[in-house]
Amino acid sequence: MRTLITLPLLFLGVLAHQDWTYTEGPNDETHWPEEYPTCGGDRQSPIDVQRKKVRYNPSLKALNLTGYEAQGGDFVMTNNGHTVQISLPPTMRMTTAEGTEYIAVQMHFHWGGAALEISGSEHTIDGLRYAAEIHVVHYNSKYESYDIAKDAPDGLAVLAALIEPGDRQVGRRGQGQLLPTEAPALFALQVKDYAENSYYSNFISHLEDVRDLGQSTVLSSLDVQDMLPTDLRFYYTYGGSLTTPPCTENVRWFLLADFVQLSRAQIRKLENSLLGHQDETIHNVYRTAQPLNGRVVEANFEYHSDYRKINPQLFFAICGLLLPSVSGGPLSSGNRAGRRVS
């Protein structure tokens, strides 16, 4: 039996306030700085990742993720008026290349879906917006709680992944294959829908339980590991902000290079299941790309314009030999088995 509950509208990272919106009206993102001055700062997120300008940093090792595997418990899933959010247990940890440990707090999604708008990721790659984006929000373990860390200069970190719909299938061009990060901007690829991603089935089936603003349900099991891309070794990183008010500029971003693959039917379900303020379907819940203002985006892999000539599995295997895991964690490079999307 599914449990439905209603909770006070106080959530972490994405706040259920009616005094801001993404688009249209006096409270849209262009007006956020009037109420939240930091939203007009110089280190805002999201950004457009321009791959030719990304700086390769060989010292960046794979992230070490622990506690991300399948587990039972009570995971509150809520419609907060801007997105669907799932609370996460403090046993979920992320350790960075320099050894900083972050504790997971919640995960949520950004998507599009409005008329003439099919894409809704917040980060873009070479100007291309993807179908949706998943954010796993963490706080620095040096602080006693999220409430304290959220105001600290080094308080937060977000692990992000782009969600790829069926009409951007990574495929072949001539005799070469494309890396996931290469395919979108360079070639028109065969339109082929992905099969349903079974690792998202439980989450998507519960969207109907949180249809209305403020409505919550409890998931009895959760597997964040399998809701992320297959390959977790390679990522972009930069210093930025929360992408919603108050837009605090204390977030270390880690954007995975690999994609989550969902069927187009699953994407449509995510885009059209929730109602927000004034009982309108929640669409286009993403902020547009913000200026870099001199910031440098780094990556732990090198970009080459001729990657499309390389078999991606071979490329990742070679990079895996050069990219040692961090502490041998269960989800560090080389330790995570490949997954099947069925």
328 domain-assigned = no
Q: Among this protein's residues, is 304 annotated catalytic?
A: no
Q: Is residue 335 part of a domain?
A: no
**What pLDDT does residue 330 have?**
43
Domain of residue 60, residue span: 4-322
Rounded to two decimals, the pTM is 0.81
- Give the bridge partners for 113, in sequence order: none
Query: Does some domain include residue 338?
Result: no
What is the reported pLDDT for 48?
98
Rounded to 10 degrees, the C-alpha dihedral 91/97/100/106 comes to -40
pLDDT of amino acid 24? 77
Q: Residue 267 to residues 112, 161, 260, 289: CA-CA distances in angstroms? A: 9, 15, 11, 22
Residue 236 is inside which H or E element, if any? strand 235-240
Query: How many CB atoms neighbour CB 83 within 10 A?
Result: 23
- DSSP-assigned states of every residue in 115-130: TT-----SSEETTEE-
Q: What is the CATH number of the domain that holds 211?
A: 3.10.200.10
Closest CA to 285 of 114, 48, 116: 114
Kindly state whether residue 330 falls inside one of the protein's structural domains: no
Flag whether 339 is in a domain.
no
Using alpha carbons only, how large is the chain's radius of gyration in Å? 19
Q: Which residues of the chain have pLDDT under 70?
A: 1-18, 116-118, 166-194, 305-342
Q: Which is the catalytic residue, given 82, 108, 110, 283? A: 82
pLDDT in tens, 221-269: 999 999 999 999 999 999 999 999 999 999 999 999 999 999 999 999 9
Sign, CA dihedral 111-256-97-292, equals negative
pLDDT at position 304:
76
The count of structural domains within the chain is: 1
Q: What is the dihedral of CA 117, 180, 240, 70, to 10 degrees?
A: 100
Would you say residue 122 lies in a domain?
Answer: yes
53 occurs within a structural domain: yes
Q: Is residue 333 part of a domain?
A: no
What is the pLDDT, as a whole number, of residue 97? 93
